[in-house]
């Protein structure tokens, strides 16, 4: 077993590992933030997976046909927002259970992208034949020259940096703006919010649109930063993981970031752990298992806090 611990130590002392953690966390972080703002408004955005797929695909197509990766990014974001609005329309206007809307949106997203890959490329599973661009990487001057830290923190994709900056932006939006207050009010108690003149459906729609925007970023990251093409099922359940990370992070931005990093950590570990002589497949379960365990611990904590509150009240 000494080999195991040595190898594990080898992974943890490898700067590339931490670089990978930061990188694989980014799309999940975007998606988790998206789920979080929807959740804060009292709507579970189950359709995140479908939104990401549609955005990732739209981005690649727009980038390939316009020749500009930025056009691709903007198209992905627009697609994300539109999908968010579709969720809002069916859930709020036509009164469909929002979880079932999400499931349907995932179904449509998976189907539509799978169908259109073939239409656009003649290939059945990827868009590698299209010349779509990749978003640029940033080498941060000054930072990149610092020995270890530089190789961990510098040279990431521009969207990776944005995902972490987005945590602060979302925190500001949720806790320091009028819109954020409305969103939280609508989520906590829609009737009370309505009674003081907050448009419940309007606020929820805005939250879902922002959620879709985050899904757009996450999708764009998958097909224009993580990979340079779109493949069938490229998101590989990240939309669902985001839901879990959001639940575990109690739907606030900082918590979302921590749980996303937790997932990213185990995900990166699973790609590195081939050297540990543990079977691949078992290592791959790690991120999901960690999320499940984390969720349970979080739930127990919440329950304890509730009990404490009750006790102090008495």
Partner 1 sequence: MLTLSKAEKTKNTKTIRQMLDYNSLSVKSKHNLLRTAAAIGIGLSVALVLILLTAKNPGQAVKYFLAAPFMSKAYFSHLIEVIIPLLFTGSAVCIMFSANQFNLGLEGSFYLGGLIAAVSGIYLVTDVPFISPLVGILLGGIVGAIITMIPALLQYKWNANVLVSSLMMNYICLYVGLFLLFHYFKDPASSQHSYPIGDAAALTSFFKGTKIHSGIIIAALVTVFSYLLLYRTKTGYSLRATGQNPIFAKYSGLNVGALAVFSQIIGGFIGGMGGAVQMLGLYERFQWVDLTNFGWDGVTIAIFAKNNPKYLPLATLFIAYFRTGAWVMSFKAGVQIDLVSVFEGIMVLFLLAERFLAGTYKKMVFEDADRKRKEREALENNMDKEGAQA
Interface residues with partner 1 (CB under 8 A) are 44, 46, 90, 93-97, 99-101, 103-108, 110-115, 117-119, 124, 237, 240-241, 243-244, 247, 279-282, 284-285, 288-289, 291-292, 295-296, 298-300, 302-303
As measured in angstroms, the least distance from the Cβ of 35 to partner 1 is: 10
Distance CA 309, CA 36 (A): 24
As measured in angstroms, the least distance from the Cβ of 17 to partner 1 is: 21
Nearer to partner 1, 39 or 74 (CB): 39
Nearer to partner 1, 173 or 269 (CB): 269
As measured in angstroms, the least distance from the Cβ of 297 to partner 1 is: 9
Nearer to partner 1, 46 or 76 (CB): 46
Distance CA 79, CA 112 (A): 13
User: What Cα–Cα distance (Å) separates residue 217 from each residue in 22, 28, 135?
Assistant: 16, 10, 12
User: What Cα–Cα distance (Å) separates residue 68 from each residue in 64, 120, 219, 266?
Assistant: 7, 18, 17, 34
As measured in angstroms, the least distance from the Cβ of 263 to partner 1 is: 10
Tokens of 246: 């959001």
Distance CA 213, CA 225 (A): 17
**Summary count for the chain: helices (H), strands (E):** 13, 2
Nearer to partner 1, 136 or 237 (CB): 237
Nearer to partner 1, 16 or 305 (CB): 305
Contact residues for 114 (Cβ-Cβ < 8 A; gap 6+): 232
Distance CA 129, CA 117 (A): 10
As measured in angstroms, the least distance from the Cβ of 173 to partner 1 is: 24
The number of residues making up the chain comes to: 314
Nearer to partner 1, 114 or 155 (CB): 114
As measured in angstroms, the least distance from the Cβ of 281 to partner 1 is: 4
């Amino acid at each position: 077993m000494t080999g195991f611990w040595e190898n594990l130590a080898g992974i943890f002392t490898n700067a590339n590992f931490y670089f990978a953690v930061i990188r694989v966390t980014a799309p999940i972080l975007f998606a988790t933030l998206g789920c979080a703002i929807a959740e804060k408004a009292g709507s579970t955005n189950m359709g995140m997976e479908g939104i990401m797929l549609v955005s990732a695909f739209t981005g690649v197509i727009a980038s390939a046909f316009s020749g500009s990766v930025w056009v691709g990014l903007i198209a992905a974001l627009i697609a994300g927002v539109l999908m968010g609005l579709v969720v809002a329309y069916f859930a709020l206007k036509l009164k469909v259970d929002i979880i079932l809307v999400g499931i349907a949106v995932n179904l449509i997203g998976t189907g539509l992208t799978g169908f259109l890959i073939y239409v656009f490329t003649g290939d059945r599973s990827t868009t590698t034949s299209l010349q779509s661009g990749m978003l640029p990487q940033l080498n941060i001057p000054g930072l990149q020259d610092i020995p270890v830290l530089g190789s961990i923190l510098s040279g990431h994709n521009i969207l990776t940096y944005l995902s972490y900056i987005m945590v602060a932006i979302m925190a500001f939006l949720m806790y320091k703006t009028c819109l954020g207050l409305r969103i939280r009010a609508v989520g906590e108690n829609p009737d009370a919010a309505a009674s003081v003149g907050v448009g419940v459906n309007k606020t929820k729609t805005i939250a879902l649109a922002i959620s879709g925007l985050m899904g757009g970023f996450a999708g764009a990251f998958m097909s224009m930063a993580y990979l340079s093409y779109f493949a069938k099922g490229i998101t590989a359940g990240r939309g669902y993981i985001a839901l879990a990370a959001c639940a575990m992070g109690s739907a606030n931005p900082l918590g979302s970031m921590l749980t996303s990093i937790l997932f990213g950590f185990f995900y990166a570990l699973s790609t590195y752990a081939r050297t540990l002589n543990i079977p691949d497949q078992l290592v791959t379960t790690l991120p999901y298992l960690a999320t499940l365990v984390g969720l349970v611990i979080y739930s127990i904590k919440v329950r304890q806090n509730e009990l404490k509150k009750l006790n102090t009240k008495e």
